[in-house]
Amino acid sequence: MKKQTHVSILISIILLSITLHYVAMPFVYEYLFPFQLLIGTSTLLIDIIACSYILYFSNMKEGLSRLFWIILSVGALSYFIGDIVVAYQRLIVKDFYTFVDPSDFFYLLFLVSFTFAFLYEIIYNRDLLEKLFMLCDICIIVTAQFTLSYYLLIERTIHIFTTSYIDIFVQLTYPMADLLFLLIGINLLFKPLSLLPKKVGALLGSALILYATTDAIYAYIKYFIPEYSMFTVTPFYQVTLVLVAIACILHTKKPEKQEQVLLTPKIGESIRLSLPYISVVMLIVFILVEYVFAPIIVIGLIITFSFVLIRHSLVRKQNKILLIAQMQFNSELEKQIKLRTEDLVEQKNELYHNQQMFKSLYEHHPDPIFTLDLYGNFLKVNNAGTTLLGYQTNELLNQPYYSLIYEEDLEEMINAFHRVKKGYSISLEIRAYHKNRDIYYLHVTAVPIFLKEKISGVYLMIKDITESKQQQEQINFLAYHDTLTELANRRAFHQHLEQAIARAKISKKPFAVMFLDLDRFKVINDTLGHRVGDLLLIAVAKRLERIATSNMKLARLAGDEFTILIENYKKSQMSKK
């Protein structure tokens, strides 16, 4: 069964009991047996149900919470036994007006158990001074208010010369317990709790305040206005037990630290601390206004101020402890500040050192490095960068990068720049203009600049690959060209021939291949030397190039051997050539 179901059952039972009680009162005389049987039965039934719930759910608690609820269970059972005794006296003995009877022993045990449990809860997790402060505040409030209550009300109800000291003690204990319950209930509502969640604390605080209020009204009717029925308020005693049972059911978790019930901790603490002072002021104002110096007033005032002096001495001791702790804290804080300052100075020096190292690396790096903003404008350039492009630093600053990019590579560079702004690193080869408008081949690595996890700019790290590009082009040229005549070599001729054969198969058009060599070249080479022979070969190559048409491909195979590949030729054209 869910906890909410148990709560609903308890609420339904207590509402039914209250309804029956107040419906029966106008129709049945309160002191007759039927009415006493009705209220006695309902009272004992509710006591049994509430005590059963408290005992059952108390056994489900753990640690200090279990001890707290076990003590409350003892108090609830004591109250139940007291109600049994009262029911016996009213139903069997027909005694309604005895001031002190055996039931008071069990009711006092109930008060002691609840007081002990709640005081334990309030002072739990507090140091010794806080516990003493709490006890002094309770003693000040209870003494001051009890003194006023005794002089104004209680003294009239106690027959000092006709009752025993035990009777007097019992009659004085109830109003003191009511004051204590009222104080504890207020404390539970306004003070951060230690063992109880806020809902549970609110229910228990409300239960204690309700009990104190009900008991005070009951006593006032019983002693001062007997013409009114004291049974008017008796159902609310059972409401108190039901609230305690509901709180026990709902208490399932450990509260958060400094969990608050009604107000903020600051306001709640202010209200709690002001109660002792309000009580003392009320007592003093009453004495001054009424000009009363009865023995009980004087004794109460002396006891109250004794507790005030004790509290004052505790305050002085606490202030001394706090002063020593503050001095130790200040000393420790000074040490921490000194260490922190030294750390900051060291970090500052280290940061400056790192900045200088980065600046030196940036400025003197052999490769050009450019810093751009997110709009592509130059913010900074190192020495190698100015040397590469021939611009001075002030000529580049705040100028867009694309003003230096070769037109055919501009789109590729713009796309790369947009990708870098999205957090990617890009490497590519582009061409750029020197200040004198020469074209340079550059290998560019673009990386984003991150500051506080946001991209604030772009680094361009550049390598000049112009010379390597030229060397690569030269290598590619030499692989397919004769170094002396710059005509196609044997490898290139074979490729051209294979391509011509493939095209001829598709187009069904003929092609021709001519092989040429030079007569008496060996004689010229041997008599006049290799240099003259080379010049002759160069001259022959140039003459062949002059007579070549667009459908001819010339090649030097080796020595004085030349070939001519002719596609789509005409015999008349070839005869003329």
Residue-wise pLDDT tens digits, 310-326: 888 888 888 888 889 88
Greater confidence (131 vs 112) lies with 112
| Residues ≥6 apart with Cβ < 8 Å to 370 | 378, 380, 381, 385, 396, 401, 459, 460, 462
Does the pLDDT value for residue 293 go beyond 90? no
CB 143 within 8 A of CB 304: yes
Residue 165: both structure tokens together = 């000291």
CB 561 within 8 A of CB 516: yes
> How far, in Å, CA of 510 to CA of 323, rounded?
114
What residue has token string 């076990």? 70
Model pLDDT, residue 195: 66
Categorize the per-residue pLDDT at 175 as very low, low, confident or very high, splitting at 50, 70 and 90. confident
Categorize the per-residue pLDDT at 78 as very low, low, confident or very high, splitting at 50, 70 and 90. very high
- Our CA dihedral for 366, 371, 376, 379, rounded to 10 degrees, sits at -120
Question: Residue 12: phi, psi to the nearest 5?
Answer: -65, -40
Among 491, 487, 479, 493, which residue's Cα sits nearest to residue 545?
487
Does the pLDDT value for residue 130 go beyond 80? no
Question: Burial, 302: exposed, middle or buried (Cβ in 10 Å; 0-12, 13-18, 19+)?
Answer: exposed
> How far, in Å, CA of 275 to CA of 240, rounded?
24
Model pLDDT, residue 244: 92
453: region left, alpha or beta (phi > 0 left; psi from -120 to 50 alpha):
left
Residue 403 is given by DSSP the state: G
Greater confidence (528 vs 275) lies with 528
Residue 85: both structure tokens together = 């005794």
pLDDT in tens, 529-561: 878 888 888 888 888 888 887 788 888 888 788
CB 533 within 8 A of CB 521: yes
Segment among 7-21, 146-160, 400-414 with least mean pLDDT: 146-160
Q: Cβ–Cβ contacts within 10 Å for residue 292, how many?
A: 12
Residue 468: both structure tokens together = 């390597």
Q: Give the side-chain half-sphere CA count within 13 A for 9.
A: 12
> How far, in Å, CA of 203 to CA of 245, rounded?
10
Overall average pLDDT of the 408-415 stretch:
90
| Residues ≥6 apart with Cβ < 8 Å to 382 | 362, 363, 364, 365, 368, 369
Residue 281: both structure tokens together = 């002021």
Categorize the per-residue pLDDT at 133 as very low, low, confident or very high, splitting at 50, 70 and 90. confident
Does the pLDDT value for residue 375 go beyond 80? yes
Categorize the per-residue pLDDT at 160 as very low, low, confident or very high, splitting at 50, 70 and 90. very low
CB 371 within 8 A of CB 381: yes
Does the pLDDT value for residue 242 go beyond 90? yes
Categorize the per-residue pLDDT at 161 as very low, low, confident or very high, splitting at 50, 70 and 90. very low
Residue 252: both structure tokens together = 């399932």
Categorize the per-residue pLDDT at 80 as very low, low, confident or very high, splitting at 50, 70 and 90. very high
Does the pLDDT value for residue 81 go beyond 90? yes
Model pLDDT, residue 12: 92
Most confidently predicted of 154-168, 209-223, 325-339:
325-339
Residue 484: both structure tokens together = 């002396």
> How far, in Å, CA of 190 to CA of 264, rounded?
8
> How far, in Å, CA of 418 to CA of 403, rounded?
17
Overall average pLDDT of the 440-457 stretch:
89
Model pLDDT, residue 125: 66
Does the pLDDT value for residue 228 go beyond 80? no
pLDDT in tens, 468-514: 877 777 777 777 788 788 788 888 888 888 888 888 888 888 888 88
Q: Cβ–Cβ contacts within 10 Å for residue 512, how many?
A: 14
Does the pLDDT value for residue 574 go beyond 70? no
> How far, in Å, CA of 416 to CA of 358, rounded?
26
Model pLDDT, residue 162: 47
Mean pLDDT of all residues in the chain?
81
pLDDT in tens, 331-367: 899 999 989 988 888 888 888 888 788 777 777 788 8
> How far, in Å, CA of 340 to CA of 405, rounded?
51
Among 454, 458, 387, 393, which residue's Cα sits nearest to residue 420?
458
Helices 103-123 and 165-190, packing angle to 10 deg: 30
Question: What is the amino acid identity at position 327?
Answer: M
Question: What is the amino acid identity at position 319?
Answer: N
> How far, in Å, CA of 293 to CA of 11, rounded?
49
Categorize the per-residue pLDDT at 1 as very low, low, confident or very high, splitting at 50, 70 and 90. low
Residue 39: both structure tokens together = 């209220």
Does the pLDDT value for residue 218 go beyond 60? yes
Overall average pLDDT of the 132-139 stretch:
77
Q: If DSSP codes are grouped into helix, strand and coil, which group holds residue 441?
A: strand
Model pLDDT, residue 560: 81
Does the pLDDT value for residue 60 go beyond 50? yes
Percent of the chain with pLDDT over 70: 88
Model pLDDT, residue 355: 79
Model pLDDT, residue 419: 92
CB 255 within 8 A of CB 13: no
